[in-house]
Amino acid sequence: MAKQSVSSEAVQQAGSAGGPAVARSVEETGLTVTFLADLILKQILFVGEFTQTQVAASTGLSLPVVEQAVDLLRRERLVEVKGMIETQKFTFRFAITDRGRKRGDDLMRICRYVGPAPVLLEDYRRQTAAQSIRHMRVTQELVNAAFADLVIDVSLRDRLGPAIAAGQTILLYGPTGNGKTTIAETVGAMLPDIIHVPHALLVGGEVVTVFDPASHRRVEAEEKLDGRWVAIRRPVVKVGGEFTLRLLDIGFNPVAGFYEAPLQMKGNNGLFIIDDFGRQAVEPQSILNRWIISLDRRIDYLSLQNGLKFDIPFDQLVIFSTNSAPRLLLDDASLRRIRYKIPVDRPSAANFEQIFQQACRERHIPYDAAAFDHLVGAYYRKLGIAPDACHARDILNHLLERAAYLRETPTLSPIAIDAAWESCFIPPTTPPLPDA
């Protein structure tokens, strides 16, 4: 596959919402005309006749760039003109020749990537810096609005705000079932601005795909963009117990012959959540060791199969969420690299009642203060246990399922709460099984 030429200067730096300008010439793409011609040849390998307009749509290239590449294919007798729709050159109908089909087959054996033309690594770095999370304008009003529907202490919200605004690493820790994951997801939903990611990069002559519909939410761009880029909301990448260090390495598909960007690259300019931190197969300390340089210097290093090493931006807000005691997971040096350590504790009695009322509204169950007092007195006070925020959801879901089974209207009553509690929770002391 052809190597890239000199770096393009086509990327605008007009802030996080400013997208890359349309490349009007081969030189502005930073790619060689030979590379673009090869890519187009693979695109048309299995189609009949085509126009340059169709090729521009599939490759994300402007018509002047496509014209230069198709002219090269014509000169090398790899495509031929079959006719025209109108008298304009862009309406010529082309078809691949037998020679072109053989050349296309050879190219596909090397790399099966077809789609929008890649951008250069230098342009990706430049655009990522222009839309850095450090450029986000996160205000107290924005944070308050984002967390308005969550019942959390004002003190917790006020600790979260500066951490989000700074784009710094956060560790949320505390007992299970009290909203750490919900808080992290709320942060992702509130991130401002539209950013731009490339469909693919060209690194050392190799294609690396970046845009991923599973991680990126596409939006309609207000301005005309280079078609090799995609306008998206700031990404939110979330992993849990399945997370391994292998997911942080660039992936190579030996059958397809091209690479896929690792998760942290897909999360650039956005949020990376590691949920259930400490429950992964890999040791927590190993994850921090892998990211020591990344968290400090905001760069990461990747390697291709041919041994080529290159650096990429590491520009994301990282949130670790754990039910374990932080000092049981990480040493002091690693904890120091996590700028914000924020505890998320069980709700107060007043907050738990608000959470329970909110859960009732969401499930269209009329709230009954006497029934709630029965729950608190007969179980939490009597058993000497503190409620977790998730208990409201769990109890009411059991109540709904029982009512559906009995074909009754869901009602918050002491009888319904007793039945829900008994099926939802294990008693503090379980009697031994009788002898056989």
In a domain, 101, yes or no: yes
Burial-class residue 146 by CB neighbours within 10 Å (0-12, 13-18, 19+): buried
Confidence at 292, pLDDT banded by 50, 70, 90: confident
* Within-domain flag for 406: yes
Residue 8 has pLDDT above 50, yes or no: no
Q: Do 336 and 197 have their domain in common?
A: yes
Same domain, 196 and 325: yes
In this prediction the pTM is 0.87
pLDDT tens digits, 172-189: 999 999 999 999 999 999
In angstroms, the CA 267 to CA 318 distance is 9
Average pLDDT value for residue range 58-73: 96
Neighbours of 356 (CB within 10 A): 24
Q: Say what the pLDDT of residue 289 is.
A: 92
Counting residues of the chain whose pLDDT is more than 70, the rounded percentage is: 93
Number of structural domains, the chain? 3
Q: Which helix (H) or strand (E) holds 313?
A: strand 309-313
Same domain, 82 and 137: no
Beta strands in 367-426 (DSSP E): none
CA 315 – CA 266 distance, rounded (Å): 10
Domain boundary at 82, 115, 148, which? 115
| Mean predicted lDDT score pLDDT of the chain | 91
Mean pLDDT, to the nearest integer, of 253-269?
A: 97
Pair 341, 326: CB distance under 8 Å: yes
**Is the same domain home to 186 and 38?**
no
Query: For position 58, which CATH number holds?
Result: 1.10.10.10
Q: Could you tell me the two tokens for 174?
A: 């505390």
Specify if 431 maps to a domain. Answer: no
Q: Are 204 and 304 in contact (CB under 8 A)?
A: yes
Q: Does one domain contain both 171 and 279? A: yes
Integer CA distances (angstroms), 77 to 70, 96, 101, 245, 332, in order: 10, 9, 11, 48, 66
In one letter, which amino acid is 212? D
Kindly indicate the confidence band of residue 47, based on its pLDDT and cuts at 50, 70 and 90: confident
Residues in the chain: 436
Cα separation, 81 vs 234, whole angstroms:
44
Do the domain assignments include residue 47?
yes
Q: Tell me the CATH number at 176.
A: 3.40.50.300
pLDDT at position 10 is: 36
pLDDT value of position 259: 98
Give me the pLDDT at residue 86, please: 63
Whether 5 maps to a domain, the answer reads: no
378, 395 Cβ separation under 8 angstroms: no
**Number of neighbouring beta carbons within 10 Å of residue 75:** 10
Q: Which residue among 343, 377, 404 closes a domain?
A: 343
Residue 6 is predicted with a pLDDT of 38
Flag whether 16 is in a domain.
no
Is residue 267 a contact partner of residue 235, using CB atoms and an 8 Å limit? yes
Q: Judge if 405 and 293 occupy the same domain.
A: no
Residues 339 and 366 in one domain: no
Same domain, 397 and 253: no
Structure tokens at 148: 């308005």
85 plus 228 within the same structural domain: no
Residues 322 and 183 in one domain: yes
* Within a domain: 370: yes
C-alpha separations of 37 from 10, 30, 99, 103, 233 in Å: 20, 14, 14, 11, 32
Can you give the residue range of the structural domain that contains 365?
A: 349-424
Residue 155, in any domain of the structure: yes
Among candidate residues 343, 378, 399, the one where a domain is terminated? 343
Give per-residue pLDDT as tens, 98-150: 999 999 999 999 999 999 999 999 999 999 999 999 998 999 999 999 999 99
Residues 220 and 328 in one domain: yes
Q: Are residues 97 and 53 in the same domain?
A: yes
Non-local CB neighbours of 330 within 8 Å, separated by 6+ positions: 284, 285, 288, 338
Cα Dmax for the chain: 94
